Structure 1
Amino acid sequence: MLLVACATLICGLPLMLLFKTGLTSEAGLDLAPLTDAIQSRSVQRALWHSVESSLLSAFFATLLGTGLALLIGLTDIRAKGLLVFLILLPMMIPPHVTAIAWIQALGPASPVLRMLGIAPELGSTHPLYSREGLVLLLTLQHSPLVFLLVRAALRSFPRELSDAARVSGASAIYMLRRITLPLLGPSLLAGFALAFVAALGNFGINALIGIPARYTTLPVLVWRRLASFGPDVLPNVAVISVILALVALAAILLQSLLQRRMRASLIGLPQDPLAFSLGSTRKFVELALWAFVAMVLLLPAASLMATALVRTYGIDLSLSTITIENFEEVLWRQSVTVRAFFNSTVIAGLAAGVIALISLFTAYFLAHKLAGKRRLAGLALTQAEIAFAVPGLVMSIAFILAFIRPLPVVNVSLYGTLWIIFLAYVSVFLAVGLKPVAAAFLQMDGSLEDAAKVSGAKYLYRMRRIFAPLTAPAAASGAILVFLTAYNEVTVSALLWSTGNETIGTAIFNYEDGGYTTLAAAMSVVVVAATILVMIAMNGLAKRVPAGTIPWKD
């Protein structure tokens, strides 16, 4: 019961307050504010832009992610492990950093394009400042999500399917069309829905690309109104947030219903899928694949680094203009950035540790023999998954509504402090840390606990001496994923930060939004480097955690 109460307090209660504020008045249920908001031209336009860009980017992300998963999962190309790591890397890089990198890579002042002599003319409109540019970056950001789901589905296929088809004389294309893709239907649908919801709630790309392009989406509209008018407009932005949450939840519900209709039972143990030989075309396919990876990663990374190494954005990079002053500025001189690094490290680390502890006890009951305890733990998990699925900006508004007033009894206000961001991180990312630990508990033999009970071991003793050591690698892996995600995020903290309580994500966004492009680039380079180092460090856990816990490892 305590676990359900905690999950309700940090996950369910803020969302319930959000819907109460948006859908009720003193007289009870009142849909008038919602109706008025839907009839507003600015809200209609933002809603259409959100749905349009999310649908288009989800469609293209599904095509791209599925194509990459089929290519790597079903053919004999080499260096698959490294390719998977590199393909998933954009998913771990903050969206606002991705936007900044591509803005600097393709703009008229791009140091790389100017060096090659192919940069757009100075003063011309940036090619990314359009609906198409927004959809392109959302596609690149979220296609790894689809890749991850489809690749996992491919690895769960019994090998007998492909063996039987090959023995019957089926070609690779025929097998793909008649066997593989139909069986992948639920995973493709899940990937599309995940990419859609992620794009719907994306703030960094929508703000940095959409605002200059005059293509306002709902998250940006909420941010603009709250940033311009302050907490006084909370009822207004709560209604808009309810609209955004309803669209996201409707997409998840529709996905769940369609998946049940498309589900197909597979017989046989999952094995490595059959690798089709590409023959003489393999080197050309590998060349095209590595060229794509290089374009997606190296071009923006090189532009980001080149911008960080010059004093003013637009200056050509050369031996006479290169400088490390921007790095010195953000790492040592600017109190804002130093404070942001400290704040993000502390609250992301605390959130990761608390989530690991909550996950240990929740996952134990998710695998419990008694159905009643499993249902209670499942209720906590459901609330955590909803909090994760709902766009981060919606959760920000929910937490403002929940904690803008002082807490009862203690009379302490969390609003405007780091603690409200910390609680929001625990709420939003609880599902991320819980999944690996739940997988570890489900793999355990129930006789372990039976033997401990027979020996007289109490519950807390069993947790401390048996289950905690056995699940520690999975909990550590989940905690690292939580830390990595929270450390870089901007969507959740965009509306919760205040002066003195900046995070890395908000500091980078504010630098870019304020015109301090070189400082934003330098800080982004540091964040990307830290992200890569943490991902590499996670490889050390690969042999000690359940398969699939670390996304880029089998």
Structure 2
Amino acid sequence: MPLPEGLGLPALVVAVALLLGGLPFFRLVAAAFAPGGQFAPDAAFAEMASRSAMTATWHTLETASLSAAGALLVGGIVALALGVTDVRGKRPLAFAFVFSMMIAPQVAALAFLSLFAPNSQILALIGLAPAPGTPNPLLGRGGIVLVMALHHAPLVAITLWTGLRSIPQSLIEAAQMEGASHATITARIVVPVLRPQIVAAGLVAFVAGVGNFGIPALLGLPVNYLTLPTLIYRRLSSFGPSSLGETAALAVLVGTVAALGIVASALVARRQRGKIEIERPLEPFWRLGAARPFVAAGLWGLLALKLGLPLLALLSEALTPALGVALSWQTLTFDKFAEVLFRQAATMRAFRNSLAFAGAAAVILALLAIAFAYALERRLGKLRRPVELLIELPYALPGVVLAIACILIFLKPLPLIGVSIYGTPFIILFAYLARFLPLALKAPVAAMAQIEAHHEEAAKLDGANLWQMLRFIVAPILAPAAAVSALMVFLVAFNELTVSALLWSSGTETLGVVLFSLKEAGLAGEAAAVAVSASAVILAAMLVLDLLGRHLPQNILPWRL
């Protein structure tokens, strides 16, 4: 029996949310605590309490906590410098800062490894290269903490920029009338008002650290320093599907650790909600005067250490013919780029796969986002928040948790059709759709909230049904926001590793997987060429997004301050 027209779209949205958000995690919990359909949690608890799991849990908490503290320090300084001062070049500074986060974690780890390697071309220029034969100082806990702190600092800055927009300008003007200095206003008004956002930013960085796979994999696996995501990867890559019971329990464990941070962040946000009414948002009030060029130089210097020097080290490694050969006009060669882009079958296939998976996910999610944005804003009512929570679950929790859940769902043949998609491109595409749907919804939902309902009412008076109204009224209005969503999804999915590292099979390798494999095989130059090429694609996509940003609602693109 068909549903009434008014219920068709909400029912479809709820069904898709259950499929992409609810089913994977229900299947994961069932596999861990009720194997074979009978509640038997003893094996799962025994695995969680094992020595290897406890050690990996401690390493996860240690690196996530320390890197979150570092990200708070770096991200907080950048957020305040760009948010409350009149420093020049805010837009390019913010763009470069966010770009440093958009490049894949494994690329960031590889870049820092290249920068601090004994054969580092960059450090050799200033006489600081480590002695030949010495281990890379970034391998192990310290390197993981440092690189994750720098990589997640933009997450902190973005969260704090959002908080700064919630501070009323009247507070600052009242303090200025009382003769308070810029430093006093910042220390006694801005920072205390931002305290909930500071806590939330730290928790966001902590959750990102818990789920990060690329950085601990490149910096921790070579010295056997395992976090929960890398322990799951090692178990599954060593024992295959036969270890799914153990890895499901470990996935529940890492999901629980991340969920604690997510819940704490939600509680902080709930306590803050509705406390301050905004008439005019905060404007930069700190006039730097003669210190202006020095502050700008400091920010650009930070970006050079965080982004410029590591990428230059990576580029120099890709341009030299062999390890240990000094880069010069005589030795410079593009042979490694030619190898990975035009001659090596695995890397060429990985580029095609990453473009195909990221592009397909971006297009499908952009189309879904239009219908979802309309349903969330106009049709779901009280169901909106539960549906949003289901949608956000795969994006909020670590990707390794989603990957294990997808394996459990699709390892056996699907009901009715009797075909398994495990080991095919479709399992990666499903995981991407589930993981990046919340990202795809951000811009269309914000745009939909600004659309007045009279367009839809006029369409109804003309006799248009729901699907005609979506096609001819809502879709054209939301198309620019949906296009931006598609590009944002492409940005994140193109270099993705955490999910695809567990889901790929021969022929479905992604760029993240190939880069990791090349580094493990000792082909650092080829890995560097892949990383630089992938980063160039991300930079091009961000530049296109920036051009489109002027036609979008404010605050959709985090670097457009």
Residues 27/518 of structure 1: CA separation in 2 closer, same or farther (3 Å cut): closer
Structure-1 residue corresponding to 2:498? 491
Tell me which of 509, 520, 532 is aligned to 1:525: 532
The number of residue pairs the alignment matches comes to: 551
Tell me which of 356, 366, 382 is aligned to 1:375: 382
- CA-CA distance at 1:7 after TM superposition: 1.8
Q: 1:446 is matched by which residue type in structure 2?
A: A
Describe the SS at the equivalent of 2:484.
Answer: helix
Q: 2:128 is matched by which residue type in structure 1?
A: I
Structure-1 residue corresponding to 2:468? 461
Which whole-Å CA distance do the structure 1 matches of 2:284 and 2:170 have between them? 9
Task: List per-residue Cα deviations over 1:171-213 (Å, max 9, x = no partner).
Answer: 2222223221122122112211111111111111011001123
Structure-1 residue corresponding to 2:477? 470
Tell me which of 179, 187, 194 is aligned to 1:184: 194
Q: 1:470 is matched by which residue type in structure 2?
A: I
Which whole-Å CA distance do the structure 2 matches of 1:96 and 1:278 have between them? 37
- CA-CA distance at 1:264 after TM superposition: 5.9
Given that residues 355 and 494 in structure 2 are in contact (C-alpha distance below 8 angstroms), is that contact kept between their aligned partners in structure 1? yes
Given that residues 4 and 379 in structure 1 are in contact (C-alpha distance below 8 angstroms), is that contact kept between their aligned partners in structure 2? no
Tell me which of 278, 288, 291 is aligned to 1:278: 288
Which whole-Å CA distance do the structure 1 matches of 2:311 and 2:463 have between them? 58
- CA-CA distance at 1:9 after TM superposition: 1.3
Structure 1 moving runs of 4+ over 6 Å: none
Given that residues 406 and 431 in structure 2 are in contact (C-alpha distance below 8 angstroms), is that contact kept between their aligned partners in structure 1? yes
Which whole-Å CA distance do the structure 2 matches of 1:467 and 1:262 have between them? 33
Tell me which of 346, 349, 360 is aligned to 2:356: 346
Structure-2 residue corresponding to 1:427? 434
Which whole-Å CA distance do the structure 2 matches of 1:221 and 1:473 have between them? 42
Structure-2 residue corresponding to 1:208? 218
Q: Does 1:446 align with 2:456?
A: no
Residues 25/412 of structure 1: CA separation in 2 closer, same or farther (3 Å cut): closer
Which whole-Å CA distance do the structure 2 matches of 1:381 and 1:347 have between them? 24
Given that residues 403 and 502 in structure 2 are in contact (C-alpha distance below 8 angstroms), is that contact kept between their aligned partners in structure 1? yes
Residues 425/551 of structure 1: CA separation in 2 closer, same or farther (3 Å cut): same
Which whole-Å CA distance do the structure 1 matches of 2:42 and 2:62 have between them? 26
Which whole-Å CA distance do the structure 2 matches of 1:436 and 1:259 have between them? 21
1:260-409 equivalent positions in 2, closer than 5 A: 260-263=270-273, 265-368=275-378, 373-409=380-416
Given that residues 508 and 524 in structure 1 are in contact (C-alpha distance below 8 angstroms), is that contact kept between their aligned partners in structure 2? yes
1:83-162 equivalent positions in 2, closer than 5 A: 83-162=93-172
Residues 354/377 of structure 1: CA separation in 2 closer, same or farther (3 Å cut): farther
1:77-88 equivalent positions in 2, closer than 5 A: 77-88=87-98
For normalisation by structure 1, the TM-score amounts to 0.97
Which whole-Å CA distance do the structure 1 matches of 2:49 and 2:159 have between them? 38
Structure-1 residue corresponding to 2:511? 504
- CA-CA distance at 1:215 after TM superposition: 1.7
Given that residues 413 and 420 in structure 2 are in contact (C-alpha distance below 8 angstroms), is that contact kept between their aligned partners in structure 1? yes
Which whole-Å CA distance do the structure 2 matches of 1:127 and 1:2 have between them? 52
Sequence identity (%): 40
Tell me which of 550, 553, 556 is aligned to 1:546: 553
Q: Which moved more, 1:154-163 or 1:28-37?
A: 28-37
Which whole-Å CA distance do the structure 2 matches of 1:420 and 1:375 have between them? 32
Structure 1: 5+ residue stretches without partners: none
- CA-CA distance at 1:377 after TM superposition: 4.3
Q: Does 1:62 align with 2:62?
A: no
Q: Does 1:34 align with 2:44?
A: yes
Structure-1 residue corresponding to 2:5? none
Tell me which of 250, 255, 260 is aligned to 1:245: 255
Which whole-Å CA distance do the structure 1 matches of 2:39 and 2:264 have between them? 25
Task: List per-residue Cα deviations over 1:406-436 (Å, max 9, x = no partner).
Answer: 1111111110011100000000000000111
Q: Which moved more, 1:29-38 or 1:298-307?
A: 29-38
Which whole-Å CA distance do the structure 1 matches of 2:270 and 2:549 have between them? 32
Residues 28/454 of structure 1: CA separation in 2 closer, same or farther (3 Å cut): same
Structure-2 residue corresponding to 1:174? 184
Q: 2:431 is matched by which residue type in structure 1?
A: A
- CA-CA distance at 1:455 after TM superposition: 2.2
Given that residues 362 and 489 in structure 2 are in contact (C-alpha distance below 8 angstroms), is that contact kept between their aligned partners in structure 1? yes
Describe the SS at the equivalent of 2:501.
Answer: coil
Which whole-Å CA distance do the structure 2 matches of 1:200 and 1:314 have between them? 35
What is the Cα-based RMSD across aligned positions, in Å?
Answer: 1.4
Which whole-Å CA distance do the structure 2 matches of 1:144 and 1:337 have between them? 30
1:11-26 equivalent positions in 2, closer than 5 A: 11-26=21-36
Describe the SS at the equivalent of 1:29.
Answer: coil
Describe the SS at the equivalent of 2:180.
Answer: coil
Which whole-Å CA distance do the structure 2 matches of 1:270 and 1:303 have between them? 45
Task: List per-residue Cα deviations over 1:240-290 (Å, max 9, x = no partner).
Answer: 010000111111112222333345621232434232111222222222121
Q: 2:194 is matched by which residue type in structure 1?
A: L
Which whole-Å CA distance do the structure 2 matches of 1:25 and 1:478 have between them? 39
Given that residues 67 and 145 in structure 2 are in contact (C-alpha distance below 8 angstroms), is that contact kept between their aligned partners in structure 1? yes
Q: 1:498 is matched by which residue type in structure 2?
A: S
Q: 1:16 is matched by which residue type in structure 2?
A: F
Task: List per-residue Cα deviations over 1:30-52 (Å, max 9, x = no partner).
Answer: 33123212321111000000011
Given that residues 48 and 249 in structure 2 are in contact (C-alpha distance below 8 angstroms), is that contact kept between their aligned partners in structure 1? no
Which whole-Å CA distance do the structure 2 matches of 1:323 and 1:177 have between them? 52
